[in-house]
Amino acid sequence: MNDSNKPNGKIEPSSTRSVVSTSARPSAWKRFFAKRWVFPAMYMAAAAIIVTILWLNAGSGTSGKPEDQASSAGIQQEAGKDGEAAADPDALPVAATGETLAWPVTNREAMTVSMPYYNQNGTEEEQAAAMVQYDNQFVPHTAIDLASKDGKPFDVKAAMSGEVSVAEQTPLSGYEVQIKHPNGLVTVYQSLAEMKVKTGDLVKQGDVLGTAGVSEMEKEEGVHVHFAVKSNSETVDPDSLIEGQQ
């Protein structure tokens, strides 16, 4: 065999580099991904990118929201807060129209208090005078009873504008009217001899609701009106609200 026909045993340098490079590349990637910090770092970087994108989108879509929320809060405050804690007592008797709570009679000076409101901070004598006795039981009086000094019947008027929510006759309290007002305020009128309104009526401050009469619960008082005020279902002393405004 001629030397020219013998296979050349030399490997070209370029071929060597190609083989080495091709075989070495996969092992280098494997070594890279085998490091413990690689995948956590990749996850953190991806999370940072996602958070940044969400933040940018949220920022571009919320312009004007604070103003809208403030406007909504203002509307809710005007509409009232049913079911929440009572607000500042000085603000309770003020209606959205600017009205303030008034006595449910034409002339307060012509009236006398036949039974006062039970004051938890009052003296023993004051508390004893504000206890209602019925059926061998004593219960605190959570209203103010007004009677005419001459003992005659008189008109009972709306203490503030609102909507009549209750207008009915009860066995113990005679005819009863309840009126809903703004800010969770409700006024209650009991011991009426007759009613001139019905449920759902819109009444204005000073409108006649009925006439004072005698109730089974408080018949010892004679002709009177049982006037109560509630704020978010909690009774409030009417005298402290009305007299505090004068």
pLDDT of residue 241: 87
Q: Does residue 131 sit in the same domain as residue 230?
A: yes
pLDDT of residue 14: 47
Over residues 128-143, the mean pLDDT reads: 91
Q: What's the 3-state SS for the chain? A: CCHHHCCCCCCCHHHHHHHHHHHHHHHHHHHHHCCCCHHHHHHHHHHHHHHHHHHHHHHHHCCCHHHHHHHHHHHHHHHCCCCCCCCCHHHCCECCCCCECCCCCCCHHHEEEEECCCCCCCCHHHHHHCEEEECCEEEECCCEEEEECCCCCCEEECCCCEEEEEEEEECCCEEEEEEECHHHEEEEEEEEEEECCCCCCEECCCCEEEEEECCCCCHHHCCEEEEEEEECCEEECHHHHHHCCC
- % of the chain at pLDDT higher than 90: 52
Q: Residue 231: inside a domain, yes or no?
A: yes
Q: Residue 1: inside a domain, yes or no?
A: no
What is the value of pTM for the model shown?
A: 0.63
Domain containing 197: what range? Answer: 91-243
Q: Does residue 168 sit in the same domain as residue 239?
A: yes
Is the model more confident about 155 or about 42? 155
Is the model more confident about 212 or about 29? 212
Q: Does residue 215 sit in the same domain as residue 110?
A: yes
pLDDT of residue 73: 36
Q: Does residue 21 sit in the same domain as residue 115?
A: no
Q: Does residue 42 sit in the same domain as residue 110?
A: no
Q: Residue 75: inside a domain, yes or no?
A: no
pLDDT of residue 92: 54
Number of domains in the chain: 2
Is the pLDDT score of 68 beyond 90?
Answer: no
Q: Residue 24: inside a domain, yes or no?
A: yes
Q: Does residue 34 sit in the same domain as residue 109?
A: no
Q: Which of 6-15, 108-117, 162-171, 233-242 has the lowest mean pLDDT?
A: 6-15
The predicted-structure confidence for 180-216, as pLDDT tens digits, reads as follows 999 899 999 999 999 999 999 999 999 999 999 999 9
Q: Residue 97: inside a domain, yes or no?
A: yes
Is the pLDDT score of 121 beyond 80?
Answer: yes
Residue 85: pLDDT band (50, 70, 90) is very low
Q: Does residue 96 sit in the same domain as residue 48?
A: no
Q: Residue 76: inside a domain, yes or no?
A: no
Q: Does residue 158 sit in the same domain as residue 200?
A: yes
Q: Residue 27: inside a domain, yes or no?
A: yes
